C-alpha cells in the first residue's frame, strides 16, 4: 500500500447527510446546477471536494458544516464554517485554494472514513463498521465520499496532516486515532501523505519501516532525482541526518484497481533497492 495516497493540495469538506450518488456533487441532493458549477471551480482551483456526514444524518436546515483544509506538515491548517446559503460554497473554493491562513484557524484533527457505496460497494461494506466502532468523537469522525483507493477499503484520511490509511478495521481504527492524537503513525496500514508524490511517499514509508520511526514528522522526504539507469534517488530527512533511498518503479501485473467495480489496470509498483546514510544532522 505504501505510496498509494493521491496527491491533494486542498480539501473542501461539505456536510451533506445523503444519500450520495456516484457523482458526489451532481447526484447527492445538492442543487445539480450548483453542484456542476462547484465541481468545475474545484477542478480549476486544484481543490478536492468531499461530502461528509455523521452516522446520525444531522439536520442541516439551519446550516451545514464545511471544512476548508490545506494539508501539510508545519504549514497545515483547517477552518470550519457554518454555511446557511449553499451559494457560499462557491466562494469558499477560492479561499481553500489560498495557502496563507492564520494558524489560529487550525482545529483538532478530523478522521474521514470512506463509505461511498455508490462509487464502490466495498467502501460501504468495510467503511461503515469502522465509523460505527469509532463513534462521533466530538464531531471528529465523518463518513465521506470517495477519497481514493477503493481497493484498500476501508480507507481513512487524517486531516489536516494528510495521512492516508488503508485496509482499516474497526479495531485498527481505534488504534490509529489514539496513535494519531499522540503524534504517531501506524505503519501497518500507512499508505502515505497526500502532500507528497507517490515516489516520496514510498521512500517515507521505507525509511520509517527500516528505522522504526513512527513520529508523524520524524521523516520528511525532500526531493527525488532520476538516475541514468532509470531508478530514482530520494533524499529523506530524519531527526539525526539525511538518507538516500534508491527506488525502482515498475508496472505491476494486471490486477483489479477497484475493490468491487471489476476495473483492471497496471498500476505502478515501487520497490526499495537500497538505503544509504548521506549526511549527519549537522551537515544538512
Do residue 206 and residue 181 come from a single domain? no
Q: What is the mean pLDDT of each run of 10 residues along the chain (284 residues)?
A: 96 94 94 96 96 88 94 91 95 82 66 95 95 93 95 96 97 97 97 97 98 97 95 96 95 69 73 91 50
Do residue 238 and residue 273 come from a single domain? yes
| Amino acid 102: pLDDT | 54
Alpha carbon distance 141, 18 (integer Å): 16
| Amino acid 101: pLDDT | 56
| Amino acid 256: pLDDT | 64
The three cell numbers locating residue 71 = 494539508
The answer to whether 248 and 234 have CB atoms below 8 angstroms apart is no
| Amino acid 113: pLDDT | 98
Beta strand 268-280 pairing with 110-114: unpaired
List the CATH number of the domain containing 51.
3.40.30.10
Last residue of a domain, one of 121, 155, 188: 188
- Please tell me the number of Cα atoms within 13 Å of 68 on its side-chain side: 23
Alpha carbon distance 126, 7 (integer Å): 23
Q: Is 113 domain-assigned?
A: yes
Q: What Rg do the C-alpha atoms of the chain give, in angstroms? A: 19
Q: Is 5 domain-assigned?
A: no
| Predicted TM-score (pTM) of this structure | 0.93
The answer to whether 169 and 175 have CB atoms below 8 angstroms apart is no
Strands (E) located in 54-129? 64-70, 77-83, 110-114
Alpha carbon distance 50, 206 (integer Å): 30
| Amino acid 283: pLDDT | 47
Do residue 35 and residue 138 come from a single domain? yes
Last residue of a domain, one of 169, 188, 207: 188
Q: In degrees rounded to 5, what are phi and psi of residue 11? A: -125, 145
Do residue 49 and residue 93 come from a single domain? yes
**What is the number of structural domains in the chain?**
2
| Amino acid 55: pLDDT | 84
Q: Which residues span the domain enclosing 167? A: 11-188
Q: Is 82 domain-assigned?
A: yes
Last residue of a domain, one of 165, 188, 211: 188
| Amino acid 255: pLDDT | 64
Residues 6+ apart with CB under 8 A from 277: 241, 242, 243, 244
Amino acid at each position: 500500500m505504501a505510496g498509494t495516497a493521491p496527491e491533494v493540495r486542498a480539501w473542501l469538506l461539505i456536510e451533506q447527510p445523503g444519500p450520495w450518488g456516484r457523482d458526489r456533487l451532481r447526484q447527492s441532493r445538492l442543487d445539480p446546477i450548483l453542484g456542476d458549477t462547484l465541481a468545475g471551480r474545484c477542478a480549476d482551483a486544484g481543490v478536492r471536494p468531499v461530502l461528509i456526514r455523521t452516522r446520525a444524518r444531522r439536520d442541516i436546515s439551519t446550516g451545514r458544516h464545511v471544512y476548508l483544509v490545506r494539508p501539510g506538515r508545519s504549514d497545515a491548517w483547517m477552518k470550519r464554517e457554518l454555511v446557511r446559503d449553499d451559494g457560499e460554497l462557491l466562494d469558499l473554493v477560492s479561499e481553500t485554494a489560498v495557502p496563507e491562513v492564520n494558524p489560529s484557524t487550525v482545529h483538532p484533527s478530523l478522521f474521514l472514513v470512506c463509505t461511498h457505496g455508490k462509487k464502490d460497494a466495498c467502501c460501504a461494506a468495510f467503511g461503515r463498521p469502522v465509523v460505527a466502532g469509532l463513534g462521533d468523537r466530538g464531531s471528529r469522525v465523518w463518513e465521506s465520499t470517495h477519497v481514493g483507493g477503493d481497493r484498500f477499503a476501508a480507507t481513512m484520511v487524517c486531516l489536516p496532516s494528510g495521512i492516508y490509511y488503508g485496509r482499516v478495521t474497526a479495531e485498527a481504527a481505534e488504534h490509529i486515532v489514539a496513535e494519531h492524537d499522540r503524534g504517531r503513525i501506524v505503519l501497518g496500514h500507512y499508505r502515505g501523505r497526500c502532500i507528497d508524490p507517490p515516489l516520496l511517499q514510498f521512500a517515507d514509508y521505507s525509511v520509517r519501516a527500516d528505522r522504526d520511526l513512527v513520529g508523524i514528522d520524524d521523516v520528511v522526504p525532500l526531493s527525488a532525482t532520476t538516475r541514468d539507469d532509470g531508478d530514482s534517488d530520494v533524499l529523506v530527512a530524519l531527526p539525526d541526518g539525511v538518507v538516500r533511498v534508491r527506488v525502482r518503479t515498475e508496472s505491476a501485473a494486471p490486477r483489479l484497481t477497484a475493490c468491487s467495480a471489476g476495473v483492471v489496470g497496471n498500476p505502478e509498483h515501487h520497490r526499495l533497492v537500497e538505503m544509504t546514510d548521506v549526511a549527519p544532522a549537522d551537515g544538512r
